[in-house]
Structure 1
Amino acid sequence: MFPKMIRIHNHGYNRERIGDVQQAYKESWDSLGLDPGKMKGKKIGIAVGSRGIDQIQAIVRMTVGKVKEAGGEPYIFAAMGSHGGGTAQGQQEVLASLGITQEEVGAPVLCSGETKLWGWTGPHGYPVYGSVLCDQFDAFVLINRVKMHTDFEDVTESGVLKLMAIGIGGPAGCQNVHALALKDGYGTVIRETAAFMMEHLPVLFGVLLTENAVHRLDCICMREPADFLETEKALLSKVKQGRMKLPAEQIDVLIVDEMGKDISGSGMDTKVIGRVCVTGQAEPASPQITRIAVLGLTEGSHGNAIGIGLADFTTKDVLEQTDFAATAKNAVASMAPAQGKFPCVLRTDRDALQAALDTAALEDPEAARVVRIRNTNQIADLYVSAALYEELRGSRDIEALGEAEPLAFDDRGRLLPGQYGHE
């Protein structure tokens, strides 16, 4: 017997967002004050990663436009480590799925999985790898989102520093950084590797983006390399303060409708689900979730199911959608084989959810504390079991959007789509 579920909206998050992206970009560009002569007559490589960043196509298109206005020749190049299977074709497909094509952004898109050794850092002697594409450019522009990383906590996590160390580092650089991080920590290795790269690459500026708690662009910040570190620290601190969490610290079963690489680097945001499974990294103190069931893999994942190992149960459909070579490559490169393991596979969604409830050590399944989300990027609008709602209803942040209703399945045992999107 499944508990009845109530659709709710959690208002406890940062709602700030940019209304006019073009105007915000212009204001940031003007404040940068870059001398256009630094781009005139030069081939400018614009580094773009594999994340589904809000408004990324528009940001890349406007950056291409600024390079052209200054008399430069812009090129987009893939800076995504081992993503896209570590191949040029895979990288091209990932960028195209984000709307990053020559037709859409106005500049050629170059991809390569080949890297070479650039040298060694001073403090620790870390080897540094970079994409062979970098040899084609006279100067560089970096575009990335500053956000919390799924595998570690530090003063800097994901941003332009990581884009250099792991993204521009290509498959070899990605695996190298992750291996070194097992000993010295991600933050140390990424910052030291990025510092080496900034000394050897003529980086003109970075476009540092942040999103609010429901992943809408809320800041466009352009800075020169000397300001990258302190800017990332400040932006990350702001992001952490405005983040959203699941509405309960103790959950019996979490139902995740979909996971994928376009949602999080680990398929599911580890800070949301409270599971990391990376050697040497501490597990989050909360939330404490007894069972996690994943019911779908996004099309934008291109079969890469990294992070599926964070779940306890999944389905035959997810198994059949998985590209095992791409998943294994990502798991090995990120030194996180546990995230690439498959959980217990059930025939249908109904079977997977029943197994999750049966193994959650519940005295009364109808009183289970169950949460259902579309994915870990969209947790403002979600479902909670009737029993859990009774605990939450006194909170001023929680708004019920309907009555308690049973979970509904089709005749093949698939969970019917939920209603999400209230913001």
Structure 2
Amino acid sequence: MDFPDRDDVAGLLESRPLPSFARVRYEPSTDALADPPSRARSELDRLALEDLAAGATIAVGVGSRGIHAIDEIVAEVVSGLDERGFEPVIVPAMGSHGGATSEGQREILETLGITETNMGVPIDARMDAERVAEVEVGGTRTPVYVASAALEADAVLVVNRVKPHTNFSGRLESGLCKMIAVGLGKQQGAGAFHSTAIRWGYVPTIEALVDAIRESVPLVGGIALVENFHEETARVEAIPAPDLERREPELLERAKEEMATLPVDDVDLLVVDELGKEISGAGMDTNVIGRYRVLNAPDPDRPSIDLIYARGLTEATKGNGNGIGLADVTRRAAVEQLDLRKTYANALTSGSLAKARLPVVAPDDEMALRITLNALGDYDPEDARIVWIENTTDLAELRVSEALLPEIADAVTVVGRETVAFEEGSASFEQA
């Protein structure tokens, strides 16, 4: 596809000056565990493992990206299981991610530092899943799938972070329950789940599936992780299978209190340097940008961001640009990074098609910013409320236009003043 070049675009847009920016440090006070891997190992004592026979195989479901020290935590979990006389096997519990292929899911685990060599245990990445039950949610009968690799084990536990989800809000969002209901179902299970959840609601669908899986699978529970603003581990807690739906909402509330957010709620333009699946399941954390773009799920009330310009993809996302559709404008360099097979596999399984759409594609930074500034309408650089971030996870340091400083002065520390310069259309910051 041929996108318009600079000559095509420049003549259609008025040139508007950018405001000057302040580079600020934003570091709310937080708590962090000193040794999360060791805590995960010791937390295994809270699960009903004593009922298992010596030599029992235990499927350990993992696979969510962007979790602090996940490789070290999983290594301690499997080592702890081995020490107790069991035979752990790692099972990717990530639905359709990795292009819905065994190779792709192994590749994702490898990017997390989770390999057979590093963990000292086998990884069973088969995409096979078996139908173990059928549940009714609303007016829909929904099949329940579980990975064959998990069903063949004597017990199953999952390791995941509890956090606000990127598509919906409720008492259960991202965490152990969703990994059990969706991730362990591979592509078939994830597809069936999302089809029902979009119509009847994510939380009731998760609850129905987890209950059915607990009846059909030797589920012992999971290791829940909660992170702070800086993506450090703030809490590690084992939750036995019978207590999942009771305890996880309490951890979710703590995660919401700790999560990274922008220091301001009303923004004219948000510029995001990179998006990717290891940043968020939606490429950009929808709770940071205030956009779900999901059928039957209203967007968050805050923050309110008029326009978003997404500049590119991370290397670690391996071309999966799911979430680029949450932006209003991108640039050609980002489109050239896209692997549409991976992006579409993710979007088609989740049913969240908007996240895979292409926004307006500008030839470069200069034209992209000119497009957004023109689209703001009555634009004045003295009043413009612009925030520029690396990604929606690393928010400890960011840039804000000067107009925003008075209202966030008590929350941030100014570390420099900068202006935007362009070289062959590419943006960079210079000290003011």
TM-score by shorter chain over 0.5: yes
Residue type of the partner of 1:18?
L
1:177 Cα deviation after fit: 0.9
The answer on whether the counterparts of 2:260 and 2:393 sit within 8 Å (CA) in structure 1 is no
Match of 1:286 in 2: 302
The answer on whether the counterparts of 1:357 and 1:365 sit within 8 Å (CA) in structure 2 is no
1:173-229 per-position Cα deviation (integer Å, ceiling 9, x unaligned):
111111101221000001110111111111223111110122111111012101111
Residue in structure 1 matching 2:426, options 393, 414, 417: 414
Match of 2:12 in 1: none
Match of 2:99 in 1: 85
1:46 aligns with 2:42: no
Residue type of the partner of 1:408?
A
Match of 1:313 in 2: 329
Match of 2:11 in 1: none
1:29 Cα deviation after fit: 3.5
Q: Mapping of 1:318-397 within 5 angstroms?
A: 318-393=334-409, 396-397=410-411
Which TM-score applies when normalising by structure 1?
0.93
Q: Mapping of 1:90-105 within 5 angstroms?
A: 90-105=104-119
- d(CA) in 2 for partners of 1:38, 1:217: 30
Match of 1:254 in 2: 270
The answer on whether the counterparts of 1:139 and 1:203 sit within 8 Å (CA) in structure 2 is yes
1:162 Cα deviation after fit: 0.4
Per the alignment, do residues 118 and 300 of structure 1 end up closer, same or farther by CA in structure 2, a change over 3 Å counting? Answer: same
- Identity of paired residues, percent? 36
- d(CA) in 1 for partners of 2:429, 2:109: 28
The answer on whether the counterparts of 1:39 and 1:139 sit within 8 Å (CA) in structure 2 is no
Per the alignment, do residues 122 and 290 of structure 1 end up closer, same or farther by CA in structure 2, a change over 3 Å counting? Answer: closer
Which TM-score applies when normalising by structure 2?
0.91
The answer on whether the counterparts of 1:39 and 1:67 sit within 8 Å (CA) in structure 2 is no
The answer on whether the counterparts of 2:276 and 2:316 sit within 8 Å (CA) in structure 1 is yes
1:344-387 per-position Cα deviation (integer Å, ceiling 9, x unaligned):
11111222122111211133134311101111111221110112
| Aligned-partner SS, 1:109 | coil
Say how many residue pairs are matched.
413
Q: Mapping of 1:118-157 within 5 angstroms?
A: 118-121=132-135, 125-157=141-173
Structure 1 consecutive aligned stretches of length 4 or more whose deviation exceeds 6 Å: none
1:294-347 per-position Cα deviation (integer Å, ceiling 9, x unaligned):
011011211111111110111111101101111112111111111110001111
Question: Which blocks of at least 5 consecutive residues in structure 2 are unaligned?
Answer: 1-16
Match of 1:76 in 2: 90
- d(CA) in 2 for partners of 1:201, 1:169: 12
Match of 1:295 in 2: 311
| Aligned-partner SS, 1:63 | helix
1:279-304 per-position Cα deviation (integer Å, ceiling 9, x unaligned):
10111122211110001101121111
Question: Which blocks of at least 5 consecutive residues in structure 1 are unaligned?
Answer: none
Match of 2:206 in 1: 190
User: What is the root-mean-square deviation of aligned Cα atoms in Å?
Assistant: 1.9
Range that drifts further, 135-144 or 92-101? 135-144
The answer on whether the counterparts of 1:372 and 1:384 sit within 8 Å (CA) in structure 2 is yes
Residue type of the partner of 1:153?
S
1:213-258 per-position Cα deviation (integer Å, ceiling 9, x unaligned):
2211111101210111111011001111233421222111100010
- d(CA) in 1 for partners of 2:343, 2:430: 27
Per the alignment, do residues 119 and 205 of structure 1 end up closer, same or farther by CA in structure 2, a change over 3 Å counting? Answer: closer
Match of 2:33 in 1: 18
- d(CA) in 2 for partners of 1:418, 1:138: 59
